Amino acid sequence: MPTRRSFVVADAQEEGASAPMAEPMKQFLVHPIVPLHVGGLDLSITNSTVSMAVAAVILTGFFTLAFARPAVVPSRVQSVGELLYGLIDDLAHSIIGHSSASFFPLVFSLFGFIATMNLLGMFLVFTPTAQLAVTATLALLTILIVVVVGFWKNGFGFFKLFVPSGVPIALLPLMIPIEVISFLVRPLTLALRLFGNMLGGHVVLNIFGSFVVGLGLLGLAGGVATLGFFGSALALSSIVALIALEFIVAFLQAFVFAALTCVYLNDVVNLHSH
Amino acid sequence: MDVHAAKYIGAGLAMLGMIGAGIGLGTLFGNYLQGALRNPSAAAGERPMLFLGMALTEALGIFALVIAFIILFV
């Protein structure tokens, strides 16, 4: 997607647009900052790498700070840390049950990292989770862990996951392929959900921003066109509301990723007690 | 037909997929509110499930949005 940038520019020039066209996809371009080629692989330090590193440092730093001097009566930073810990702990325990403790570090790391990356995208120019590569990697990692845990805990009984209980034998040849396909779709939906939310949010913000500028420039023409200022103010207040929504979505998508990881883990861990 | 015109029409048609997501979200929140009015003390316990359901339903609408963007910008 990002390599088609020149196509979008040509688009605007071809149409003879008098106002500058919004190019919402330009903000997602990944460009190398420190070129680094090892063997045949391109391992450059890109703006994506830098934002993810910043997110990791902020996440680790925040929790180190929060629990540096733990007290029974928590300080403000510690209580925020405890709030997040409690949120994910309750979620994992309510979904997975007794064995949630062994999966808590995974779920919490996913939640924290994704939330930090999403929130960082609201403050920095670049959102790592608006890259399909990043979200697909996280989704694949999660599903691989689910499959490995499934085989480790159940051996070949893992395949009983695809045979729902209480189904008449005649329907099984229809049900099993459906179950297998819906299992294989899980990493796809995990990746696309996070990617689509982040991409859509930032594209909409960009487009509304271009409305503010475009309508304002139109309003400068005078006469009836001064209504353009009214439209510009409307677009500005819409952006404020949308940014508030984007902050909520940033946390919510991280929470949903973590919750779905718990649900998939529960499916394989508690295979025999559905 | 001009390619650019077809892009815009295609993107508009792709966004029709969000109708289903809108209906689903309305159903979801409506049922939650109905249950919350009947049993206010149990409402807080179900709120995480509400947000989970909301995100899952919204995801399908977002897939339609992603297809519209691909049609429009790629």
Say which residue, A19 or A164, is predicted with more confidence: A164
Residue ranges making up the domain that contains A77 = 2-269
Is residue A138 a part of any domain in this protein?
yes
Please give the pLDDT value at position A10: 43
Is residue A188 a part of any domain in this protein?
yes
Task: Tell me the sheet residues that pair with A37.
Answer: A42
Is residue A274 a part of any domain in this protein?
no
CB contact under 8 Å between A193 and B59, yes or no, is: yes
Is residue A171 a part of any domain in this protein?
yes
Comparing CA positions, the residue from B18, B8, B32, B52 lying closest to residue A94 is B52
Is residue A251 a part of any domain in this protein?
yes
User: What is the C-alpha separation between A11 and A7, in angstroms, rounded?
Assistant: 6
Lowest mean pLDDT segment, chosen from A69-83, A147-161, A209-223: A209-223
List B residues 44-73 in contact with A (Cβ-Cβ < 8 A). Answer: 48, 51-52, 54-56, 58-59, 62-63, 65-66, 69-70, 73
A191 is written with which tokens?
């990746």
Structural domain count of chain B: 1
Beta strands in A3-66 (DSSP E): 32-34, 37-38, 41-42, 45-46
Q: For residue B54, what is the domain's CATH number?
A: 1.20.20.10
ipTM surpasses 0.85 = no
Is residue A17 a part of any domain in this protein?
yes
Residue ranges making up the domain that contains B68 = 3-73
The confidence band for A11, taking pLDDT boundaries of 50, 70 and 90, is: very low
User: What is the C-alpha separation between B32 and A1, in angstroms, rounded?
Assistant: 39
Structural domain count of chain A: 1
Identify which of B55, B63, B74 has the shortest CB distance to residue A253.
B55
Q: Rounded mean pLDDT of A153-171?
A: 85
pLDDT at A15 over 50: no
pLDDT, one tens digit per residue, over B10-67 is: 999 999 999 999 999 999 999 999 999 999 999 988 888 898 889 889 988 989 988 9
Distance in Å, alpha carbon of B63 to nearest chain A alpha carbon: 6
User: What is the C-alpha separation between B69 and A24, in angstroms, rounded?
Assistant: 10
pLDDT at A59 over 60: yes
